[in-house]
Structure 1
């Protein structure tokens, strides 16, 4: 009897190997007696507010919470999203019936979108560096990924004019992400005006991942692409409650914008899942209402952590940039090191876990991403260990 070889070649294109590799480096570090400081994965270390946990707990006891919830999300959740969106983004009006779709987190929607709106052999523009799920969704759908270069000299904003017409003729959609993971870059309304104009001019869908809209610093309030008049004709936007309200484990987000595209995504998901647990949606409603009525913005927590960590790293001799938003630092590795070699050596020598920048695309080489997902004192301890590593390990390399 021949042996079974049940592994799709698609898995080799998902680009997730480095995350498994970092887990192996962690085991190696712990095996040598090091305590690991987990700054690799952007998973919030704090629970949601007690008020939100109470809503979730109470909802879990209600007998009407356990039916199939429906792929589009409950009417109450979609109405809460519409109200919050209007208040947060300058009066933008969304139709809860056709312009809002509940999701099991933004990753759910971003991963499934190519299956819903493209065919094998199509192409899409993806930010480089960019969040790995963008490419993973294309790989599963058999869609070609064309890198959209994001360069420091352009403030990590794409140069639309530099993209050849032949590429525009080929792609079905492009993904943008501001505030950006992993770059922590931000964009203003003038940029989104250009982006919407470009999408309309070339007949492509603009997909904006706005998962970090509520995690910006120094008074910055990131906009929505939906604030641009006519954006819903050519764009959709993804939002997450995972980071803004520390509800990551409940798997709750939403998409807004173009009715046809959201309808296609809903139709696909009707064949894959039955929607987000209604109790999680109740917690989401409570989070949005709290943000509108008695806000407890999470950005302040991460701004304090940013300031503490960046300051401590600079004192240790690593001159890292100050991020404008998100929960990440995008830090250049020291001269003579690749991203992967630096990240591995840092972890196995000090216990400080990071993600090599090339996990986010070819143009991520030369950087590592560090997540602000520990309390300030532990971040300062991480900086101290990194300083020791810089002083003792690098000169002897």
Structure 2
């Protein structure tokens, strides 16, 4: 991703903010684009229980007074974002005026591309105007909807960034992001061809089940899952989900993989099952869905780099590696970018692309009609 020596370094410093479908909070990075992509600082904050509960509720349809609640949740999210930005600036010593832009992803509450009217929509709660006011920095937000308007899925958007950071000419590299939803990037050996798509659930189902039965927001290291046994009838039903068999381009979210979806399969295949056995089965389901995507679309890549919160789930990582003999599985830290920083850094890059007037999507990944400049810009 290093720029040619003659290229001026415009918009050198950018901040990326990511809050994903795992609903665990906000990750933020301050990136220096002077020579490649160097993360100078990383900061994060968890959502308080009330905001997390409200964001989760807004993922489901039919709630009371949704527009009002969504607007207030967006304001609360912007304040959380602003707190992370302040931490990044304090740690770096850079003033707001040195930051070209903040790329703020927002919180996805609905993702329905192509549906209903042929165009569909993707909706990320955010209050970028408030964020710009709070931080005194230009904000680039609403980064998915232009791709959807152009006939695309609006996701995943990170494969272009993955190519710049992790691509290796002469070698096919695979990047698996294990957020709330899992997505796979296939970076071809030719150095130019990129495939990317959502391949199934990441942490969303596992985290939800863990929260419900243990009170903990996630299964630390997958240790709880390791105490259970996989339930074959339930696993078979989960793996029969039609989305898994669809070809890319494709994307998904909590609109599909949610608690009611799981409950219907549990009632049919494993009523009265031990919670630990269900957790073990959900972990295996996530691992199988990811491994199957690699086997079907990985183009013989022998290296799989994993990022996102799921990279810290030892049980999940071990199962993915066991299902992919011959593929070297490691986290992105092995290539210089810690797993929890990758997505936030991608949105810093997307913000910079918008300021430079350059496309941020890959039509071959999202299915859009062509390259598009992504995001709405809220000047400081």
Give the TM-score category using the shorter length.
under 0.3
TM-score (norm 1): 0.26
Greater strand fraction, Structure 1 or Structure 2: 2
TM-score (norm 2): 0.27
Q: Which has the larger radius of gyration?
A: 1
